[in-house]
Amino acid sequence: MASVTELYRPLDEAEVGAKHWLTVFTAGMGFFTDAYDLFIIGTVTVLLTPIFHLSTNQISLLNSASLLASVAGALTFGRLMDRLGRKRMYGVEVAILVVGAILTAFAWNFASLFVFRLIVGYGVGGDYATSAVITSEYANKRSRGRLVGSVFAMQGLGLMAGPAIASIFLGAGVPDGIAWRLMLGLGAIPAASVIYLRRKIRETPRFTLSVKGDLATTATTVAWVTGREPSLGGNGSGPAGAASPALSNTNTASSIRVRLTSKPFLLRLIGTAGSWFLLDVAFYGNSVSSPLILKLLQPTGTLLDHTLISLAIFAVAAFPGYWLAVFLMDRIGRKRIQWQGFAIMTAAFALIWLLPDGATAVGVFLPLFAISYFFTEFGPNMTTFVYPSEIFPTSVRGTGDGISAAAGKTGAFLGALLVPHLLTSLGISGVMGVMAGVSALGIALTLVALPEPKGQTLEHASAEIAPEPTLAQVSAR
pLDDT value, residue 332: 95
b/e string for 207-243 if b means 16 or more Cβ within 10 A? bbbbbbbbbebbbbbbbebbeeebbbbbebebebbbb
Q: What is the DSSP string of 415-474?
A: HHHHHHHHHHHHHHHHHHHHHHHHHHHHHHHHHHH----TT--HHHHTT--SSPPBHHHH
Closest by CA to 243, choosing from 12, 473, 9, 1, is: 473
Query: Please, which residues bridge with residue 3 across strands?
Result: 470
Question: Mind listing the domains of the chain with CATH numbers?
Answer: 4-476 (1.20.1250.20)
Closest by CA to 288, choosing from 87, 38, 95, is: 38
Which amino acid makes up residue 31? F
**How do residues 449-462 score in pLDDT, each as one tens digit?**
999 999 999 989 98
Q: What residues contact 326, with CB distance under 8 A and at least 6 apart?
A: 145, 146, 149, 150, 153, 382
Q: What residues contact 149, with CB distance under 8 A and at least 6 apart?
A: 322, 325, 326, 329, 382, 385, 386
CA pair distance 239, 214, nearest whole angstrom: 8
Helix axes 334-354, 394-449, angle to 10 degrees: 50
**How do residues 358-369 score in pLDDT, each as one tens digit?**
888 889 999 999
Map residue 201 onto helix, strand or coil: coil
In terms of Cβ atoms closer than 10 Å to its own Cβ (0-12, 13-18, 19+), residue 193 is middle
Say if CB 404 and CB 273 are below 8 A apart: yes
Closest by CA to 298, choosing from 362, 344, 353, 378, is: 362
Say if CB 387 and CB 256 are below 8 A apart: no
Helix axes 253-260, 265-288, angle to 10 degrees: 90
pLDDT value, residue 474: 47
Alpha-carbon 352 to chain mean position: 27
User: Would you give per-residue pLDDT tens digits along the chain (477 residues)?
Assistant: 346 677 888 888 888 888 888 888 888 888 888 788 777 888 898 899 999 999 988 988 888 888 889 999 999 999 999 999 998 888 899 899 999 999 999 999 999 999 999 999 999 899 888 989 999 999 999 999 999 999 999 888 887 888 888 888 888 989 989 999 999 999 888 888 888 888 888 899 999 988 888 888 888 888 888 877 776 655 444 444 444 433 333 333 333 444 687 888 999 999 999 999 999 999 988 887 788 888 888 888 887 888 888 888 888 998 999 999 999 999 999 999 999 999 999 999 999 999 988 888 889 999 999 999 999 999 999 999 999 999 999 989 999 999 999 999 999 989 988 998 899 999 999 999 999 999 999 999 999 999 999 999 998 998 887 544 444 444 544
pLDDT value, residue 231: 65
Q: What residues contact 425, with CB distance under 8 A and at least 6 apart?
A: none
DSSP state of 139: S
Q: What is the DSSP string of 224-264?
A: HHHS-PPP--SSS---TTTT-TTS----SHHHHHHHHTSTT
pLDDT value, residue 99: 94
